[in-house]
């Protein structure tokens, strides 16, 4: 650095780099940090239809925690998030291991498993809404195949509708976790595997005992990104179930949207948004810490 500074660089070279960064840093300061601060502030006020900066302490949070719909949406997120993350990771890892067996047409298969990631969640949601349509969709297909008493009404069944979101979400995101796991598998030292094979270890044993443990950092990255997708999930639920039937498949992102923008409860919406931020932070920070620790440990 000192060498570079000692170079006879002109005025432009000294200030231009900072000038180039300035708009982006300003944008981050104002629109990320500043706006988070404003939202947090708003969550402590009396804001209803319009912002009202009268201090209300924790009233909005008390109101939020007394709201059954909020808890229903939080529980839905718990169900959806857990299943979505777990199944996407398991299916992704399974696909990656199969594709790692020197498969003919690997590139072609990879493209098939990953194309849903290129689609909008609105498109995915609509496609699955049609497939899961009770009456004309999957149910009718099974009837036509000869099983007349088959029923599949999850989309309109309040107890089951959140699971349709899992089905569509996994379809969209499993390929993504496959891509990350496959990249991880390709990085495993083939010498170790060969040595284990010479020692007479079977392939399943090599995977469970040697290869998968070395993928620890990849597990953390995949979990981190899937968690992020799950907590933010808004468009998929909107398109697939609209949060329904009724509010049966409500999630916090929809709760926040509806209370803020259609019901004119700005303070409550802000409190919900802050809870979402805190949830992501509470999950992401330990995961990032574990990821960086396990990456360093592997090196």
Partner 1 sequence: MEPRLTFTRLLIYIVLGVLALYFLAPLYVMLTTSLKNLDEIRDGNLLSLPLAPTLDAWAKAWSGACAGVRCEGLKPFFINSLIMTIPAVIISTFMGALNGYVFTFWRFRGSELLFTMMLVGCFIPFQVILLPMARFLGSLGISNSVGGLVFVHVVYGLAFTTLFFRNYYVSVPNELIRAARIDGADFLTIFRKILLPISWPIFMVCVIWQFTQIWNDFLFGVVFSGSDSQPVTVALNNLTNTTTGVKEYNVDMAAAIIAALPTLLVYLVAGKYFVRGLTAGAVKG
CA 32, distance to chain mean position in Å, is 20
- The reply on whether position 268 binds partner 1 by CB under 8 A is no
Q: How many Å apart are CA 39 and CA 277, to the nearest integer? A: 11
- The reply on whether position 88 binds partner 1 by CB under 8 A is no
Considering the complex, what minimum distance in angstroms separates the CB of residue 299 from partner 1?
A: 13
- The reply on whether position 272 binds partner 1 by CB under 8 A is yes
Q: In the range 273-292, which residues lie near partner 1 by CB under 8 A? A: 273-274, 276-277, 280, 284, 288, 291
Quick check: 56 and 50 in contact, CB under 8 A?
no
Considering the complex, what minimum distance in angstroms separates the CB of residue 94 from partner 1?
A: 9
Spatial neighbors of 253 by CB under 8 A, at least 6 apart, are 231, 232, 233, 234, 237, 276
Q: In the range 201-240, which residues lie near partner 1 by CB under 8 A? A: 221-222, 224-225, 228, 231-232, 234-235, 238-239
Q: How many Å apart are CA 162 and CA 154, to the nearest integer? A: 8
| Residue range at the interface with partner 1 (CB under 8 A); choices 67-75, 80-88, 137-145, 151-159 | 137-145
- The reply on whether position 147 binds partner 1 by CB under 8 A is no
Toward partner 1, which CB reaches closer, 79 or 131?
Answer: 131
Sign of CA dihedral 200, 201, 202, 206: negative
Toward partner 1, which CB reaches closer, 72 or 275?
Answer: 275
Torsion angle of C-alpha atoms 67, 73, 75, 77, degrees rounded to 10:
-150
- The reply on whether position 63 binds partner 1 by CB under 8 A is no
Considering the complex, what minimum distance in angstroms separates the CB of residue 35 from partner 1?
A: 4
Binding residue count for partner 1, defined by CB under 8 A: 100
Considering the complex, what minimum distance in angstroms separates the CB of residue 82 from partner 1?
A: 18
| Residue range at the interface with partner 1 (CB under 8 A); choices 37-45, 67-75, 77-85, 152-160 | 37-45
Nearest to 72 by CA among 223, 206, 237: 237
φ/ψ (deg, to 5) at 170:
-65, -40
Considering the complex, what minimum distance in angstroms separates the CB of residue 282 from partner 1?
A: 12
Q: Is 264 left (phi over 0), alpha (psi -120 to 50) or beta?
A: left
């Amino acid at each position: 650095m000192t060498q570079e500074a000692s170079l006879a660089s002109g005025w432009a070279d000294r200030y231009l780099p900072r000038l180039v960064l300035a708009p982006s840093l300003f944008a981050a300061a104002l629109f990320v940090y500043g706006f988070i601060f404003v939202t947090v502030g708003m969550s402590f006020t009396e804001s209803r239809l319009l912002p009202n900066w009268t201090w209300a302490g924790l009233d909005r949070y008390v109101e939020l925690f007394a709201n059954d719909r909020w808890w229903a949406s939080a529980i839905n997120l718990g169900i959806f998030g857990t299943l979505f993350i777990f199944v996407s990771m398991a299916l992704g890892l399974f696909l990656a291991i199969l594709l790692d067996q020197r498969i003919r047409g690997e590139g072609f298969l990879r493209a098939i498993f990953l194309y849903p990631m290129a689609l909008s969640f609105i498109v995915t949601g609509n496609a699955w809404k049609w497939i899961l349509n009770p009456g004309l969709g999957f149910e009718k297909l099974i009837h036509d195949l000869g099983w007349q008493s088959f029923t599949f009404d999850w989309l309109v069944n309040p107890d089951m509708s959140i699971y349709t979101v899992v089905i569509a979400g996994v379809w969209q995101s499993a390929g993504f976790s496959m891509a990350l796991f496959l990249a991880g598998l390709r990085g495993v030292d083939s010498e170790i595997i060969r040595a284990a094979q010479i020692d007479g270890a079977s392939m399943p044993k090599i995977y469970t005992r040697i290869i998968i443990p070395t993928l620890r950092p990849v597990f953390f990255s995949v979990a981190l990104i899937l968690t992020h997708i799950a907590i933010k999930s808004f468009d998929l639920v909107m398109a697939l179930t609209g949060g329904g039937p009724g509010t049966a498949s409500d999630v916090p992102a929809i709760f926040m949207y509806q209370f803020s923008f259609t019901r004119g409860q700005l303070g409550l919406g802000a409190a919900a948004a802050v809870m979402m931020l805190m949830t992501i932070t509470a999950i992401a920070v330990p995961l990032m810490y574990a990821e960086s620790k396990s990456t360093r440990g592997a090196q």
